[in-house]
Amino acid sequence: MSGAIGGTIIKLQNVSRIYDTGRIQVPALLDVNMRVTSGEFVAIVGPSGSGKSTMMNILGCLDRPSEGRYILDGQAVDELDDDGLARIRSRSIGFVFQSYNLLPRTSALENVAAPLMYQGVPRKERLQRAERALERLGLADRLHHEPSELSGGQQQRVGIARALVTEPALILADEPTGNLDSHSGAEVLELFHDLNALGRTIVLITHDVEVAAAADRAVHLRDGRLQDAVPA
Ligand SMILES: Nc1ncnc2c1ncn2[C@@H]1O[C@H](COP(=O)(O)OP(=O)(O)O)[C@@H](O)[C@H]1O
Ligand SMILES: [Mg+2]
């Protein structure tokens, strides 16, 4: 894990993202300034259409700003080509998705080991590290279960183990409790809380203000603008 506690891990400077559909231009993010310090647990909260997914894609290096600058873990993202972007994504970010995005008909162990393949980690070490990550999430007795043989809450814990296995500087979670019942959702938020207490930086994207309350700090998006920006 890079990003010493207390250092800046995310810095957005005057970031805008304007979708050009050919016919019209849709401003999805407008002049966003935000800073996240290493070790923080931050929620980005806003209603449907406010720009959350656009923000997630930019923070996750899946998309680039139309204007402005994104600095992730000391690296100006606009200076990277697509390979560089893929590398920083795989090295620095663990993603957790609403719909888990696990490989079907594939064991929990193989699912969690998969991101290490892109980092060239040898197979034996991949499986050892995946097993340890699953054990930490209380799934030691589910290593060889496939996603369809697990509950939603268990699948999301596999998803979180997969996000953690690369020891990323940042965990980026997009509506991670959106498909879970309230009990499993609360467990996942508790898990994020524990991970954060161990020093993980977590950015949680949600439309649900109750979910956002699990974080230490919430920033609010509305019509592509941040309402309560901390000056970057
Ligand atoms: N690929 C796209 N092309 C054009 N407009 C888009 C595209 N993606 C999103 N938008 C628009 O950008 C705005 C923000 O969308 P989005 O980031 O998906 O919001 P949220 O995730 O908060 O619902 C919306 O007005 C949406 O219609
Ligand atoms: Mg969205």
Structure tokens at 113: 């080991």
* Mean pLDDT, residues 131-138 taken together: 95
Contacts of 172 (CB under 8 A, 6+ apart): 56, 59, 60, 93, 94, 95, 96, 203, 205
Q: Identify the CA nearest to 99 among candidates 184, 177, 202, 181.
A: 177
Q: Please tell me the total number of residues recorded for the chain in this structure.
A: 232
Relative to the CA of 54, which ligand 1 atom is closest?
17
DSSP 132-185: HHHHHTT-GGGTT--GGGS-HHHHHHHHHHHHHTT--SEEEEESTTTTS-HHHH
Give the model's pLDDT for residue 11: 97
Strand order in the sheet with 67-72: 25-37, 8-20, 67-72, 75-76
Q: Is 226 in the pocket of ligand 1 (CB under 6 A)?
A: no
Give the model's pLDDT for residue 228: 75
Identify the band that residue 4 occupies on the pLDDT scale cut at 50, 70 and 90. low
CB 109 within 8 A of CB 143: yes
Q: Is 222 in the pocket of ligand 1 (CB under 6 A)?
A: no
Q: Is the pLDDT of residue 126 over 70?
A: yes
Structure tokens at 88: 């920083």
Segment 170-224, tens digit of pLDDT: 999 999 999 999 999 999 999 999 999 999 999 999 999 999 999 999 999 999 9
Give the model's pLDDT for residue 6: 76
Share of the chain above pLDDT 70, in %: 96
Q: Is 26 in the pocket of ligand 1 (CB under 6 A)?
A: yes
Q: Is the pLDDT of residue 2 over 80?
A: no
Ligand nearest to the CA of 47: 1
Domains with residue ranges and CATH for the chain: 8-226 (3.40.50.300)
What does the mean pLDDT of the chain come to?
A: 94
Share of the chain above pLDDT 90, in %: 92
Q: Is 48 in the pocket of ligand 1 (CB under 6 A)?
A: yes
Give the model's pLDDT for residue 3: 55
Give the model's pLDDT for residue 175: 94
